Structure 1
Amino acid sequence: MAASTELYTPVMSDALVILGAAGAVIPIFARFRITPVIGFILIGLLVGPYGLGKLVPEHPWLYHVTISDPDRLDIFAEFGIILLLFSIGLELSFGRLWQMRQQVFGLGSLELLGIGAALAAILTGLGQSPTAGLALGAALALSSTALVLRITNRATPVGRAALAMLLFEDMALVPIIFVLGALGPAAQDSMDGLMSTLATGTAVILGLLVIGRYMLPPLFAQAARTKSPELFLAASLLVVILASLATAAAGLSPIVGALIAGLLIAETEYHGEVENILEPFKGLALGIFLITVGMSIDLAVVAGDILKILLATCGVIALKATVTAALLRMMGARRGTAAETGILMASPSETTLIVLSAAAAAQLIEPSTEQFWQIVTALGLTVTPLLAMVGRYMAGRVDTIEPQQRLPDEQEPRAVIVGFGRVGQLVADMLAAHGKPYVAVDADADLVTEGRRLGYAVTFGDAARGNAIARLNLEQATAVILTMDEPVSAQRLVRNLRASYPDLPIIVRARDTTHAAALYQAGASQAVPETLESSLQLSEAVLVDLGVSMGPVIASIHEKRDQLREQLMEEGGLTEKPSLKSSSLHDRSA
């Protein structure tokens, strides 16, 4: 019994405090439509070792609702970051990363080196030693993967640029730590350790890629046969834990293993199911991390040095925003995209805390310097959601799009096209040709500007954010057509739209038949797989060239399409289409 009580006291009590705080913040802030990021940090500040936890010696009962030992926070923070990086990996793929290689190693390297060098030069000029300036510059140049990718939509130009820079920063984390170690007293040992770790880490990563390619499909296939969500969850957590342990044992960061685990599962046909099951854990993981950030802020130190801390925080944010925006403009980005991305990426990162600890361990900076910049980092993370809002506002100010065609009135029945790339424009052309009013929405300012110049009724908006779609007054919509080439986002948006508008026809572009089945399950009225339609068009061309009359060919194509659609709906778990008051554009606009 004593052993059981001893286990409960330090471990279970802390876990209950953090999970209970996360459970309280999410619904309260959701009710008031406020980002929970600030709430998580404030709660952490309240129940942490520098808040109510400080009063435990005078009031022992507070022990069970606070955390009084700062050292016990590390495991919870690392757990939150690991889950976040795993979920990010799930939404990527090796093919997409390969396509982004120029942005990752071009833009990403320039951003990290440019900001790091600028900060190092300024801090050295303010009295830091050259090695301390280099260490602090490298630490503060990093941006928050956990927050930025949670806030932004990776399908937009801002999201793609931020993702490229953040991926490079995550890959550069381990070399940065070892270079700092090489600058310390035991330089030769650090260099030997660097080469050894790089060799071992490379071998481990290659091993994970090979094992994952051949072991994960049968593992998740077996989980799928049991039709047990719990087994899917257990298998997913097993993969991410083993991958994180493997990279940690090799001397790399566990978050590298978590990201690789997500990428490996993203390559399997079961990634959609894994993502659905893990969806509730994303908010929880972010909350755990942010609560630990709040717990690390010592209000006594802040109050004693408030002016310097505020100046340092504002200076770092201003410099990072300026350098990032200038680099993006040099590489051809629009002014609005450059401004929004620069401001969004301006705050320090959760990995800044890791680099600061490594620099202090290498005796490059004093403990007091480490604590000062830890507080600056925590404050920077706190204002990241506010920076995102400022960035969106500034983007609208510097890159205003003047309408060249009257958009349909909000009260006028019209179709809503989400995504205005090649497919969206073709749908708009066909609707216009048959006299059907429409409005299109896209998060790419370049596409919106070009579309309006050509006379299309298109407006700027990010469909991933609920308020952008809500502003289009879908109560009056004749249908919603989703054309974006983002399978996960499309599936999530269909689910949300169906929950809010049960009678709305939702027609969705699907990547393949598997994706179409998942969209039907999410609530789509019609899901059109690209691979299926190209096969039907090819069959039509073959039959006509062989001399079959056009009438029977068209009839057989329609019959085959209906047959395949019913099959896909059955695979999606539906026996009939979602109930609609009116199932056609003509009926709803009549």
Structure 2
Amino acid sequence: MADAAGYGLEQAVVLLGAAVAAVPLFRKLGLGSVLGYLAAGLIIGPFGLRLVSDAETLLHISELGVVMFLFIIGLEMRPRKLWNLRRQIFGLGAAQVLTCGALLTLLGMAAGGLPPAVAAAAAMGFVLSSTAVIMQMLEEAGDTATEEGQKAISILLLEDLAIVPLLALVALWAAFNGHGTSDAAPVWQSIGIALAALAVLIAAGIWLLDPLFGLIARSGAREVLTAAALLIVLGSALFMQSAGLSMAMGAFLAGVLLSESSYRHQLEADIEPFRGILLGLFFISVGMSLDLATVVREWPFVIAGVLGFMALKGAGIYVIARLSGSVHHAALHRAALFAQGGEFAFVLYAAALGVGLFDARVAAIMAAIVILSMALTPLVLIAQRRLVRDAPVSLDGVDAADGLRGQVLCIGFGRFGQIVSQTLLARRVEMAVIENDVEMIHAAGNFGFKVHYGDGTRLDVLHASGAGRVDAILVCVDKPEAADRIVELCRSEFPHARLFVRSFDRGHALRLIQAGVTFQIRETFESALLFGHEVLKDLGFDESEADDAVDDVRDRDDQRVKLELVGGIAAGRKLLRNNMTTPEPEPFFPRARSGEDTPAAPQAALERD
């Protein structure tokens, strides 16, 4: 027992030491952390120095890192936002999977001489891109909140869903080719079980999860809350896997269902440390799984397969991206990002091997092709960015953010940001301003403003814009997802800076308050109050009556926000006046003015209701 524990401890030290040594070096070289982890795994694995031998067991354990990564992504993907992406998920995602699958199947048959069923299974495994690699690359680049980042996430979700019918198809192809068993579950049954499991998980998330966390939180047991978070993530993943879906899909759905929970930020903080370590171990274990003996013995097939599959898949992705409306540089970037195979290929190839559709040689060659393609992805992205680094926008007459200085950094210079700047400039506050719309920068220049080009959702741009030196950061962008990402980066990297944020709507305002911003305001709130004030005056109410009405609305709104922070978006609805006839109309209580007695507060009406 002691010897086993000591051996396990030695392996843990080797794994952590390899990661600590390789990742900083590769990031310093500009190659990214993914390639660092893969290289570390190759060096210490059974086909390298053999310091760690059980790569397969480690791969299964470290897959939990991908699971937790998808859970955190789900926490950022609220149900309404996910619903808005449905066309990209089932339209763009399905088009990419089917197109690339057909192209790679034809390549396998024509160039590799594979039978149609074997070529199709090999192709569809490679079509399922690596969620772990792509999400890690998007996160490091700060692109998860961008429009292209959301499209990438949508495609990955469709690929997660595709694993169910693909596993069923592998069994059917094997049966048609004289392999496998005739009693394999029909496709409709597999899909029915998967849909039923999805329904059960969604129902549990809607009616059980938030009350469960509320009960645990009231108990005051902090460590139990962390245990409950892990239980929800791992339980959802295991439940989905038992229904034939991927563990990552189960964790993602659990995150989506908890995204509106008041415990969302606490859950994210609890899961984050486990996610980072396990995801790193996943990449190390993938590197360890590369069979160098197979690569050397079958090198013509492996190299041709890597180059041919990546090139043809990338071409298919580029065409689909252009047909769906993406510009050239965005389509090229997506092709470079998705050109590799992924972790789901191992599942599909293992199933094909198990039913006799693949022999051991084909399975080993295809696994090596997938792993090498994952390792090449960071290099392909670097090459793509260098080739088209100036393609996204024409910066003629526009200066990119670099070494900016000022007391305040303003991110976004649209209608909102322009008005905000006037109050600060009236007191000669030194401002640095960045904007990612070149036309807006040119228009601002015509009016004497110096605005630099920069995307505030990217950490490198924030550093270049002087975010580490300013007293305050003004987030005036018009997209709530971008604002959330900027707030997240600034809270993490520049905690000294005070954050003033333009919020989109009430739900966004609550998220910003929970994120700890210094000040937020809904973009239409004050203008709507002034609008209503002028309407009342025009209808014959005097100035004081109009002022009282505006003050009352503002007070009620403050109370609603406090209630909603605790009880959710519907908690303060009783304070909201409506135009429906009620048996007992709610009285109006104007704010007390100087020298007047304070009447009963609106809360009295709330308590009566």
Could you say which TM-score interval applies, normalised by the shorter chain? 0.7 to 0.9
Cα offsets for 1:421-479 (capped at 9, x unmatched) = xxx4431355369857652333xxxxx24424644665554434321111123467574
The aligned counterpart of 1:36 is: 33
Pick from 427, 442, 445 the counterpart of residue 417 of structure 2.
427
Once the two structures are overlaid, the 10-residue window that deviates more, 463-472 or 203-212, is: 463-472
Partner residue in 2 for 1:103: 88
CA pair 77-498 structure 1, distance change in 2 beyond 3 A = closer
Alignment: residue pair count: 546
- How far residue 259 of structure 1 moved from its aligned partner, in angstroms, is 1.9
C-alpha deviation, 1:41, in angstroms = 1.1
Alignment partner of 1:272 is 2:268:
no
Shift of 1:21: 4.4
Does the CA contact (< 8 Å) of 1:244 and 1:254 recur in 2?
yes
Alignment match, 1:132: 118
- Residue equivalent to 1:509: 502
> Cα 1:245–1:358, aligned 2, differ >3 Å: closer, same or farther?
same
Q: 2: CA distance between counterparts of 1:204 and 1:478?
A: 50
- Determine the structure 2 residue equivalent to 1:310: 303
Q: What's the offset of the Cα at 1:385? A: 2.3
AA in 2 matched with 1:50: F
Distance 1:179 1:318, change over 3 A: same
Distance 2:498 2:351 in 1: 55
Structure 1's 453 and 246: CA in aligned 2 closer, same or farther, altered over 3 A?
A: same
SS of residue matched to 2:280: helix
How big is the shift at 1:176?
0.8
Aligned-partner SS, 1:417: strand
Cα distance change, pair 16–433 in 1 and its aligned pair in 2 (3 A): closer
**C-alpha separation in 2, matches of 1:412 and 1:5:** 59
- Work out which of the residue numbers 38, 46, 58 in structure 2 matches 1:49: 46
Within the candidate set 494, 501, 504, 1:498 is matched to 494
Hey, what does 2:582 align to over in structure 1?
Answer: none
Q: In the alignment, which of 233, 240, 248 is matched to residue 241 of structure 2? A: 248
Q: C-alpha separation between the residues in 1 aligned to 2:337 and 2:452?
A: 23
Residues in 1 aligned to 2:310 and 2:424: alpha-carbon distance in whole angstroms: 51
Q: Report how far residue 271 of structure 1 moved.
A: 1.6
Aligned to 2:127: 141
Equivalent residue in structure 2 for 1:485, among 437, 458, 480: 480
Q: Which is worse superposed, 221-230 or 355-364?
A: 221-230
Q: Deviations over 1:409-429 (max 9, x none)?
A: 955648543356xxx443135
The verdict on how the C-alpha distance between 1:100 and 1:563 changes in structure 2, with shifts beyond 3 A counting, is: closer
Partner-residue secondary structure (3-state), 2:71: helix
Whether 1:177 and 2:167 are equivalent positions in the alignment is yes
Q: Distance in 2 between matches of 1:77 and 1:132?
A: 29
Map residues 151-170 of structure 1 onto 2, 5 A cutoff. 151-152=137-138, 153-170=143-160
SS at match of 2:317: helix
| Equivalent residue, structure 2, for 1:237 | 230
For 2:384, the aligned partner's letter is G
Cα shift readout 1:175-214 (whole Å, capped 9, x = no counterpart): 1111011110356746534333322222222111111111
* Aligned amino acid, residue 94 of structure 1: P
Partner of 1:451: 440
User: Displacement, 1:550?
Assistant: 7.9
What letter corresponds to residue 170 of structure 2 in structure 1? L
Deviation at 1:159, TM superposition (A): 0.8
The change in CA–CA distance for 1:406 and 1:498 in structure 2 (over 3 A counts) is closer
Q: Give the deviation of 1:27 after TM superposition.
A: 6.1
SS in 2 for 1:527: strand
Answer whether contact 1:201 1:252 (CA < 8 A) is retained. yes
Matched, 1:347 2:340: yes
Following superposition of structure 1 onto structure 2, how do residues 527-538 of structure 1 map, counting pairs within 5 Å?
Answer: 527-529=520-522, 533=526, 536=529
Instruction: Determine if contact 1:329/1:338 at 8 Å carries over to the other structure.
Output: yes
For residues 475 and 36 of structure 1, do their structure 2 counterparts lie closer, same or farther at Cα, with a shift above 3 Å needed?
closer
Alpha-carbon shift at residue 254 of structure 1 (Å): 2.4
Change (3 A) 1:199 1:505: closer
User: After the TM superposition, which residues 75-86 of structure 1 pair with which residues of structure 2 at under 5 Å, given as runs?
Assistant: 75-86=60-71
Tell me if 1:524 matches 2:524.
no
- Contact 2:26–2:35, Cα closer than 8 Å, also in 1: no
Q: How far apart, in 1, do the equivalents of 2:401 and 2:359 lie?
A: 62
Q: Which moved more, 1:396-405 or 1:74-83?
A: 396-405
* TM-superposed deviation, 1:132: 1.2
Q: Note if contact 1:439-1:458 (Cα within 8 Å) is conserved in structure 2.
A: yes
Secondary structure at the counterpart of residue 383 of structure 1: helix
Q: Secondary structure at the match of 1:266?
A: coil
Within 2, Cα distance between the matches of 1:100 and 1:79?
26
Aligned equivalents of 1:128, 1:354: Cα separation in 2: 20
Instruction: Give the deviation of 1:129 after TM superposition.
Output: 1.0
Partner Cα separation in structure 1 for residue 78 and residue 514 of structure 2:
23
Instruction: Letter of the 2:306 partner, please give it.
Output: T
Alignment correspondent of 1:216: 209
Contact 1:405 1:455 in 2 (8 A): no
Which runs of structure 2 are paired with 1:281-292 in the superposition (5 Å)?
Answer: 281-292=274-285
Identify which of 195, 206, 231 aligns with 2:199.
206
Instruction: Look up the match of 1:553.
Output: 547
- Which of 111, 114, 118 aligns to 2:99? It is 114
1:319–1:416 CA distance, 2 compared to 1 (3 A): farther
Unmatched runs of 5 consecutive residues or more in structure 2: 567-609
Shift of 1:491: 3.5
Classify the secondary structure of the residue corresponding to 2:480. Answer: coil
Q: What is the CA distance between 1:93 and its match in structure 2?
A: 2.4
* Partners of 1:416 and 1:481 within 8 A in 2: yes
Distance between the aligned counterparts of 2:540 and 2:441, measured in 1? 43
Deviations 1:354-385 (A, max 9, x none): 22222222322221121112112111111222
Structure 1 position 398 matched with structure 2 position 391: yes
CA contact (8 A) 2:290 2:371 kept: yes
- Aligned partner of 1:151: which letter? M
SS at match of 2:185: helix
TM-score by length of 1: 0.81
1:333 aligns with 2:322: no
State the 1:332 CA deviation.
Answer: 1.6
Give the AA of the match of 1:137: A
Following superposition, the deviation at residue 285 of structure 1 comes to 2.6
Quote the offset at 1:171 in angstroms: 0.7
Whole-angstrom CA distance in 1 between matches of 2:200 and 2:118: 37
Whether the 8 Å contact between 1:428 and 1:438 is mirrored in structure 2 is no
CA-CA distance at 1:34 after TM superposition: 5.9
Q: Report what 1:587 is aligned to.
A: none
Q: Secondary structure at the match of 1:268?
A: coil
RMSD: 3.8
Contact 2:457 2:485 in 1 (8 A): yes
Question: Could you say if the C-alpha distance between residues 529 and 358 of structure 1 is closer, same or farther in structure 2, counting changes exceeding 3 Å?
Answer: same
1:256 to partner: Cα distance: 2.5
Task: Decide which moves more: 42-51 or 186-195.
Answer: 186-195
Q: Residues 525, 249 of structure 1: CA spacing in aligned structure 2 closer, same or farther, 3 A cutoff?
A: closer
Report the alpha carbon displacement of residue 298 of structure 1 after superposing the two structures with TM: 2.1
TM-superposition CA deviations, 1:62-99 (whole Å, max 9, x none): xxxx3323442342243222222222222212222211
User: Distance in 2 between the 1:31 and 1:431 partners?
Assistant: 38
- 2:570 aligned partner: none
Cα distance in 2 for partners of 1:396, 1:28 equals 24
